[in-house]
Structure 1
Amino acid sequence: MMTAVRERAAYANLLLPSELRKARLDTRDAALATELTYGTLRTQGLLDRIIAEAAGRPVEEIDPPVLDLVRLGAYQLLFTRIGAHAAVDTSVEAARTQGLGRAGAFVNAVLRKVSAQDLDGWVAVLRKDVTDPVARLAVGTAHPEWIARAFAESLGADAAELPELLAADDARPKVHLAALPGAISAEELALVTGGTEGVVSPYAVHLDSGDPGTLEAVRDRLATVQDEGSQVVAIAASRAPLVGEDGGRWLDLCAGPGGKAVMLGALAEIEGATVTGVEVSEHRADLVREATRDLPVTVLTADGRDPGLEPGFDRVLLDAPCSGLGALRRRPEARWRKTAADIPGLVVLQRELLESALRLVRPGGVVLYATCSPHLSETVSMIREANRRDDVELLDVREILEGIDGAATEGLGDGPWVQLWPHRHGTDAMFMAGLRRVASDPTPPTRED
């Protein structure tokens, strides 16, 4: 598993469940394997700094397969209740069974040095010469400093919440299910799954753990796996107030891999509307087609910046490709793959997609712009720039969410946009803003002589 993530850039949250099913582990062993895999990937940067101290060399000089074993062993020593003797011995034995030659002696030596201090002791060592408060928090919570700083900037006046946010971002999230509107209620889904109803989305159900793919409600397509924050984005797109009648022509401009398209399609079916989904990747477009096959959704493989569609859509959902900083807790390896240098290119793409969305929506129609990132360049700055246009007015998304029956809307900020947070709302850090095209006056003003 660790090798696949390292060598093939695989996503652990997509690969691990299928691997566990193949291995046919019992519930206890599957839970341990999940904890060790996700935990090691999530804390990798912190572990690497500790390993470098213990080994007396940069981790780049350690053979990658050996480093994988040392990371797993160090995670067990510092983050679990597994005994030091067992953690070290199993790591050394794994080196032997994997044919890593004399690497077992190196693994043994490094892990014994790691075991000499607990996590707090190692964090104190790493923070010894770090004075900046955000940098110190980043070290202790296994976040790259640039990401911790981006979170602090987005929190703004609420930056005192940063420790709580980083801790929530490090915690393993609950499984979030979405009860498909018109198919099953959240109350019914909670009863049949043993889960609890969500608080922000009226369709959300939370499970503490488990493989949702084995649930009957998911297999029967009554429910799907979707973070509660993502559910709210689709709901807001369907509820945003229009000027004029809703003609039932809705658009999901970046539909892959299909989670929000499913929710939007289910809501459209209730309202007698249809959804056009656009996805630039043929593979991802096929995923959307499969996910929405029983819903009024038509999927096109096209570039959302110029999809070749006739303008005039009543509603456009633009869930723009982004850095994904808001979903790091669900993608444990992602925080160590991304860099600040990724942001400018994404911002250019987001701007071009937003311009396309505003061309495609009719006067009086609404674009719901969303990112799974709180980075200010991808969120507030993007919307402020769009709001400088003469033909755009901002909607207060707080008011849209407050109009959703059963939604708890505390802590939504000052508006008009909304930023959800793991530590406040238990969701991914989803950002959303509503932009309505202003109907142009067909009669030009007369000139007085």
Structure 2
Amino acid sequence: MSEQSRSPYRHPRRGGRPGQGGQGRSGPPPAPRDPARRVAYDVLRAVDQRDAYANLLLPSLLGERGISGRDAALATELTYGTLRLQGSYDAVLERCVDRTLSSVDVEVLPLLRLGAHQLLSTKIPPHAAVSATVDLARRVVGHHRGRFVNAVLRKVSARDLDAWMSVVAPDRAVDPSGYLSVVHSHPRWVVKELARALGERSKDGLVRTEHLLAAHNERPRVTLVAKPGRATVADLVAAGAEEARYSPFAAYLPEGDPASIREVHQNRAAVQDEASQLVALALTRVDVRGDDARWLDMCAGPGGKAALLASLAGQRDARLLAAEVQPARAGLVARSVRRAPRDAGRVVVADGTAPAWSPGAFDRVLVDAPCTGLGALRRRPESRWRRTESSAADLSPLQHALLNSAADAVRPGGVVAYVTCSPHLDETDAIVRGVLSERDDLTLLRAADHLDEVPDLAAGPEGRYAQFWPHVHGTDAMFLALFRRGGEA
């Protein structure tokens, strides 16, 4: 094999699946001696090269390979820790590689990031972190590139993380967004948009923005929802969870596998962020002035909010129609709403922008619009590296159309909830203002008034929106706007 083909730098024809590489061998790779690091590496490769989601792929690989206990815990820490601080590690690695980091082979870069995480953010002894990562490198990309990984990680180990940040991060006083971008591992444009959503300007120091960015890099606790009429918070507490602060249906799981809880296994409870529960609950608390029998979840996949709404609808002798445009996701929704009280949930494959229902057919409508997901960066850290500055603009026409369609679907006197898992103002305030400017039959309600158990929620014009924040509420950054359609009930 030529020296060029064994180089640790990219060339246009190199590809392959996670874990491929080495000295041109054929057949399956040898069994990993270090299953935790190998599975972390394979997930990082798949996230980077195949747009996989770590929260879906990692549990699948752990199960397939029979990895549990301490090895599973280590694999989880290495995977998510590396993804969360990837921006910081890349800034360090740029100083330790003698070419641009973008030129490093796609098979090698995850190894460098994995090693940097162990060296800079864990208690693993430096010699063990380097040795274990180099051994993995030799097994998955070959001895030549293993030597390259060894040389780079030796340079990384020369300083701790704080010392490296003082070297690689811009001066905070001169470039506060750039400083926060490197130190807290977020793209610069994300830092700026989050600061804008928080109402902060660079000259003011971006203190709240820094608290939010830091919260994104903390491990989120697992939050469960007890589906009303099928399980209770007391059931979850008896299984080892702790009663939640805000949602009457939520409990926090301090440790362990949620699937091991009987209620979760039986689909009577599920994993769901507390803010996600509360925005659905808020819709059900608004007086709809008249009949209250027909509810719609217009963008229901994967089904968490639909399951809660179906359970609540069943308790009120109402019915929920859950619509989802993608058939596979509609299947997930069907599983979520199965066995709701009074069989209150029905699922259809339908496009909310070209609805299969008649105008004014529903009393309550939820539109949980597709968005950039910048509110869920704690749980999906890779999303910050996938989205671009144009992502919100690309989604805006769809969000606008869905909210308009939701307003058409609700009857006069009925209520619409517009929800995004993003605080980006182009996906929240701009969409609401745009639709309101085109219609005279919608009234914007004070959303926070319907969630008065949660402090510091009011946002937007005259405090009419509800905005959750990870650093304030310990939840995803869910946005909620509530509307009433005018006219006689």
TM-score of the superposed pair, with normalisation by structure 2: 0.86
Measured in 2, the distance between the counterparts of 1:314 and 1:400 equals: 17
Partner of residue 408, structure 2: 359
8 Å CA contact retained: 2:119, 2:129: yes
The reply on whether 1:148 has 2:197 as its aligned counterpart is: no
Cα distance in 1 for residues equivalent to 2:99 and 2:246: 47
1:187-206 matched pairs, under 5 angstroms: 187-192=234-239, 194-206=240-252
Measured against aligned partners, the alpha-carbon deviations of 1:328-365 in whole angstroms (never above 9, x if no partner) come to: 11012111111111111211110000110011100000
CA contact (8 A) 1:328 1:334 kept: yes
1:157 & 1:41 partners in 2: Cα distance? 27
| 2:97 aligns with one of 55, 58, 61 | 55
RMSD over equivalenced CA pairs, Å: 1.6
CA contact (8 A) 1:268 1:275 kept: yes
Q: Structure 2: how far apart are the matches of 1:313 and 1:57?
A: 60
Q: What CA distance in whole angstroms lies between the structure 1 residues aligned with 2:81 and 2:310?
A: 35
Matched, 1:165 2:212: yes
Q: How far does residue 157 in structure 1 lie from its aligned partner after superposition? A: 5.6
Q: Which residue of 1 aligns with 2:306?
A: 261
- Identity of aligned pairs, percent? 49
Q: Which runs of 5+ in 2 are unaligned?
A: 1-42
Letter paired with 2:273: D
Q: Which moved more, 1:97-106 or 1:279-288?
A: 97-106
Alignment match, 1:334: 383
Equivalent position to 2:271, from 200, 208, 225: 225
Q: Secondary structure at the match of 1:375?
A: coil
Greater relative contact order (Cα < 8 A, sep 6+): 1
> Contact 2:242 / 2:254 at 8 angstroms: preserved in 1?
no
Return closer, same or farther for 1:14/1:209 CA change in 2, 3 Å cut-off.
farther
- Unmatched 5+ residue regions in structure 1? 403-407, 442-449
Instruction: Tell me whether 1:401 sits opposite 2:447 in the alignment.
Output: no
Q: Name the structure 2 match of 1:288.
A: 333
2-structure distance, mates of 1:387, 1:99 = 56
Identify the residue that residue 137 of structure 1 maps to in structure 2: 180
Residues 202-221 of structure 1 aligned to structure 2 (within 5 Å): 202-221=248-267
Distance 1:431 1:425 in 2: 13
Task: Report how many residues are paired.
Answer: 434
- 5 Å-filtered alignment, 1:17-36, equals 17-36=59-78
Q: Which residue of 2 aligns with 1:12?
A: 54
TM-superposed CA distance for 1:57, in Å, is: 1.7
Q: Distance in 2 between matches of 1:8 and 1:115?
A: 30
Given candidates 268, 278, 285, the residue that maps to 1:239 is 285
- Partner SS for 1:10: coil
The yes-or-no answer on 1:349 pairing with 2:394 is: no
Q: After the TM superposition, which of the residue ranges 40-49 and 162-171 deviates more from structure 2?
A: 40-49
* Deviation per residue, 1:93-151 (Å, 9 max, x gap): 11111242301111011001001011111111122456221221121101111111111
Contact 1:371-1:379 at 8 Å conserved across structures: yes
SS in 2 for 1:340: coil
Deviation track 1:146-173 (CA, whole Å, cap 9, x = no partner) reads 1111111111169531111111111010
Task: Name the residue aligned to 1:405.
Answer: none
Q: Deviations over 1:298-349 (max 9, x none)?
A: 1111111012211220000000000000001101211111111111121111
Q: How far is the alpha carbon of 1:273 from its aligned partner?
A: 0.8
Q: State the alpha-carbon separation in 1 of the partners of residues 155 and 169 from structure 2.
A: 18
Q: Which residue of 1 aligns with 2:487?
A: 439
Which amino acid in 1 is paired with 2:313?
A: A
Q: CA deviation at 1:7?
A: 2.4
Structure 2 residue matching 1:294: 3-state secondary structure: coil
Q: Deviations over 1:381-417 (max 9, x none)?
A: 2112233321110111111112xxxxx3111135211
In structure 2, the residue corresponding to 1:376 is in which secondary structure? coil
Q: d(CA) in 2 for partners of 1:90 and 1:332?
A: 25
Secondary structure of the structure 1 residue equivalent to 2:238: helix
* TM-superposed deviation, 1:268: 0.7
Which of 391, 414, 438 is the aligned partner of 2:441? 391
* 1:305 match: 353
- Tell me, yes or no, if the aligned pair for 2:419 and 2:480 is still in contact at 8 Å: yes
SS of the residue aligned with 2:390? helix
Per the alignment, residue 184 of structure 1 pairs with: 231
Which residue does 1:123 correspond to in 2?
Answer: 165
- Which residue is 2:29 aligned to? none
Aligned equivalents of 1:219 and 1:188: distance in 2?
A: 13
Aligned-residue offset at 1:440: 5.5
Which position in structure 2 is the counterpart of 1:444?
none
Range with greater deviation from structure 2 (60-69 or 158-167):
158-167
Whether contact under 8 Å (2:322, 2:347) holds in the other structure is: yes
Q: Is contact 1:391-1:440 (8 Å) kept?
A: no
Please give the per-residue CA displacement for 1:31-73, whole angstroms capped at 9, x wherever unaligned: 1110000111122222122111111222211111111111100
Distance in 1 (CA, whole Å) between partners of 2:235 and 2:432 is: 38
Q: SS at the partner of 1:182?
A: coil
2-structure distance, mates of 1:129, 1:137: 10
Q: Is the 8 A contact 1:175 1:210 kept in 2?
A: no
For 1:214, the aligned partner's letter is S
How far off is 1:277 after superposition? 1.1
Deviations 1:262-291 (A, max 9, x none): 111111111111111111111111111122
- 2:457 equivalent in structure 1: 412
How far apart, in 2, do the equivalents of 1:320 and 1:171 lie? 26
> Residues of 2 paired with 1:26 and 1:362: CA distance?
52
Query: Relative to 1, partners in 2 of residues 1:128 and 1:439: Cα closer, same or farther, differing over 3 Å?
Result: closer
Q: Is the partner of 1:254 in helix, strand or coil? A: coil
Aligned partner letter, 1:284: R
1:42 matched residue in structure 2: 84
Query: Do residues 276 (structure 1) and 321 (structure 2) align?
Result: yes
Supply the AA of the counterpart residue of 1:135.
Answer: G
Is this contact kept in 2: 1:419–1:430, CA < 8 A? yes
* Secondary structure of residue in 2 paired with 1:221: coil
- 2:16 alignment partner in structure 1: none
- 1:83 equivalenced with 2:119 (yes/no): no
TM-score w.r.t. length of structure 1: 0.93
Q: SS where residue 451 of structure 2 aligns?
A: helix
Q: 1:73 to 1:204 in 2, by over 3 A?
A: same
